[in-house]
């Protein structure tokens, strides 16, 4: 796990506080979507399917920051849509960083080099660039040529200026262990990004392409092979060891979607950003008025093939905190990665 030591300590302290207060449901990271508009039409995304009037909307700064503060989460992932299209995205980031929230700005990087001057490097801020494969594969997934090359140049420039840069890669049933190894080797060894996040594609109901999502057994076999030969230990993966075990099928977990809640232009989304069973105006209503027990694999048919980060990484983190053995294992990996 390549999470910086300072961030690891803050998250661990936050989790300990929740345990002391006997809170059984709390946010680990908020998925904040201040807009749905995007400058790409990726096959695996359904956000741009919203009506034109919705795509023109931009969340006010105070509303975006207020939602995060209301939740109390120590981390924020700003997505969309393409957040760099928001005219005040730099101010949203600035205010969240000022509150010492760890902010990850998710981007396809097409606007990144043009917008870098609006941001300042900080241990509380990182760009999270979406990279689904090497040149041909990535450009195919985003349905536009040249995006991979621009993303690579943007990452290099951001790193040169002192920014933390992470990546997020989604893998489909068209991927093989070799394609995963190739892109993660490139990101880890050549671009030397700070951290990498990986996720099996979930059958997002509004996504244009419904044919290439992974099933549970496909996911386990794919990652088991990709992680072999020491790759898993060598890559700077931004995941708990138990979540990586989960992807390989070594352990199984229930879904804890309440730990990574989604807040968008419509409010707090039930139950997660991948499924939409309605919205509520406050975080408290989301937690208290949602029947969380009815979601997850084996409960809701829509969840049957889901092994997404938003549902299962929090479970893995909580399981880690509840086990001395797993806590020490995670600590060793964090310390080791911070020495590199």
Is 49 a residue whose pLDDT tops 80? no
**Across the strands, what pairs with 199?**
170
What separation, in Å, do the N-terminal and C-terminal C-alpha atoms of the chain show? 12
At residue 5 the predicted structure's pLDDT band, cuts being 50, 70 and 90, is confident
Q: What is the predicted pLDDT for the residue at 137?
A: 93
- This prediction has a pTM of 0.92
At residue 114 the predicted structure's pLDDT band, cuts being 50, 70 and 90, is very high
Q: What whole-number distance in Å separates Cα of residue 94 and Cα of residue 65?
A: 10
Q: What whole-number distance in Å separates Cα of residue 54 and Cα of residue 33?
A: 12
CATH code: domain of residue 86: 3.20.20.70
At residue 334 the predicted structure's pLDDT band, cuts being 50, 70 and 90, is low
In tens, the pLDDT along 150-161 reads 999 999 999 999
At residue 194 the predicted structure's pLDDT band, cuts being 50, 70 and 90, is very high
Q: What is the predicted pLDDT for the residue at 335?
A: 62
| Whole-number average pLDDT of the chain | 90
CA-atom Rg of the chain in angstroms: 19
- 279 contact partners, CB below 8 Å, separation of at least 6: 264, 266, 267, 268, 269, 270
Average pLDDT over residues 292-313: 88
**Pair 70, 283: CB distance under 8 Å:** yes
**Pair 158, 112: CB distance under 8 Å:** yes
- Helix pair angle (241-248, 309-321), 10° resolution: 130
Average pLDDT over residues 54-82: 97
* Count of domains observed in the chain: 1
Hey, which of 186-195, 298-307, 309-318 has the most confident mean pLDDT? 186-195
Domain, as residue range, for 103? 5-337
């Amino acid at each position: 796990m390549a999470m910086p030591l300072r961030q690891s300590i803050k998250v661990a302290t936050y989790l300990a506080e929740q345990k002391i207060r006997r809170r059984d449901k709390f946010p680990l990271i908020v998925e904040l979507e201040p807009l749905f508009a995007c400058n790409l039409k990726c096959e695996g995304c359904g956000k741009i399917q919203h009506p034109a009037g919705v795509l023109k909307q931009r969340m006010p700064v105070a509303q975006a920051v207020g939602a995060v503060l209301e939740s109390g989460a120590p981390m924020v992932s700003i997505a969309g849509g393409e957040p760099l299209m928001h005219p005040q995205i730099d101010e949203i980031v600035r205010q969240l960083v000022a509150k010492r929230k760890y902010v990850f700005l998710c981007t396809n990087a097409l606007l990144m080099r043009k917008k870098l001057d609006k941001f300042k490097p900080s241990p509380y801020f990182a760009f999270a660039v979406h990279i689904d494969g090497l040149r041909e594969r990535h450009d195919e997934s985003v349905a536009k040529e040249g995006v991979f090359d621009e993303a690579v140049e943007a990452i290099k420039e951001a790193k040169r200026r002192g920014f933390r840069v992470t990546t997020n890669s989604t893998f489909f049933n068209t991927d093989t262990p070799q394609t995963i190894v190739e892109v993660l080797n490139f990101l880890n060894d050549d671009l030397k990004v700070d951290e990498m996040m990986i996720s099996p594609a979930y059958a997002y109901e509004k996504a244009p392409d419904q044919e290439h999502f992974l099933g549970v057994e496909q996911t386990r076999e794919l990652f088991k092979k990709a992680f072999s030969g020491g790759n898993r230990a060598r890559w700077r993966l931004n995941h708990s060891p138990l979540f990586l075990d989960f992807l390989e099928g070594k352990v199984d977990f229930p879904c804890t979607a309440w730990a990574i809640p989604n807040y968008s232009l419509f409010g707090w989304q039930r139950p997660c950003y991948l499924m939409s069973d309605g919205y509520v105006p406050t975080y408290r209503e989301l937690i208290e008025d949602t029947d969380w027990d009815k979601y997850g694999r084996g409960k809701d048919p829509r969840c049957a093939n889901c092994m997404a980060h938003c549902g299962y990484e929090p479970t893995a983190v909580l399981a880690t905190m509840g086990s001395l053995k797993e806590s020490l294992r995670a600590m060793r990996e964090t310390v080791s990665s911070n020495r590199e």
